[in-house]
Amino acid sequence: MLPILSPKTHLTTRLDWCITPLQFSPGRDKTSSRMNIGILTISDRSARGERTNASGPLIIEFVTGRLSAAIARQAVIPDEFDLIRDTLTAWADQDDLDVILTTGGTGFAPRDVTPEATRAVLHREAPGLAEAMRAASLAVTPHAMLSRAVAGIRGRTLIINLPGSPKAGRENLAVIASVLPHAVQLLRDAPSAEAGHRLA
């Protein structure tokens, strides 16, 4: 079960709770193809323990299986702008994560502030990822037009918003999974990145 973080706890304590020691990677290795990934579930009800966090474990299963990635951080937090922003900032700046995947808070509800909190920490946006996910989802449901998910880069970390729905989150992740390894190579400035361009 993922740790549930109390909104009343100081931020540094929250972030300490997010560490999964056996899976934590101390730094990037440009020669390694394995990605270090953080999974941030954003949900008021899940953070309060009123609803099971279904999307986070499903995403973990996908990235550890299909992408052979290491889960370096995971947490469940409420839909609070400051907490989302500060968690993304700390994970990207301090934890050498290649990719942070958020799930939840991307819709039209008043407390759906994940896109705004994400934009507040990005140095560069990567709109193609969000556009591809919406385009693929639109073939499944017209509700895809209501997604406000964003993607972008902070430092050398790629941050991607996924829907809170377990089914939609997995479908969206499947759309972009094939390009994530090359995106990480580019962000790491890895020697293998040029070969990836030639194969594209």
How far apart are the C-alpha atoms of 85 and 171, rounded to whole Å?
A: 25
For the chain, what is the domain count?
Answer: 1
Query: Does 1 reside within a domain?
Result: no
* pLDDT tens digits for range 104-132: 999 999 999 999 999 999 999 999 999 99
Nearest CA-CA partner of 4 in 51, 48, 65: 48
Listed range (116-120, 147-151, 153-157, 192-196) with the worst mean pLDDT: 192-196
What's the domain range around 136? Answer: 12-199
| Structural domain contains residue 7 | no
Half-sphere exposure (Cβ direction) of 160: Cα atoms closer than 13 Å: 31
Locate 33 and state its tokens. 């193809």
Residue 118 maps to a domain: yes
| pLDDT more than 90, % of the chain | 76
Q: Which residues of 17-37 are buried (b: 16+ CB within 10 A; e: fewer)?
A: bbebeeeebeebeeeeeebbb
- Positive or negative: CA dihedral 105, 109, 115, 117: negative
> Which residue blocks in the chain are alpha helix, DSSP H?
11-17, 44-47, 55-65, 81-94, 114-119, 127-138, 166-176, 180-188, 193-199
Please indicate, yes or no, if residue 3 is contained in any of the structural domains. Answer: no
Question: Which CATH number covers residue 59?
Answer: 3.40.980.10
Mean of the pLDDT values across residues 187-195? Answer: 77
The predicted structure's pLDDT at residue 5: 46
* 106 in a structural domain: yes
6, part of any domain: no
For residues 91 and 97, the answer to whether their CB atoms sit within 8 Å is yes
- Phi/psi of residue 147, each to 5°? -75, 135
- Asked whether residue 2 is domain-assigned, the answer is no
Instruction: Note whether 57 and 46 are within 8 A (CB).
Output: no
pLDDT band with cut points at 50, 70 and 90 for residue 15: very low
Q: Is residue 4 part of a domain?
A: no
The pTM of this model reads 0.83
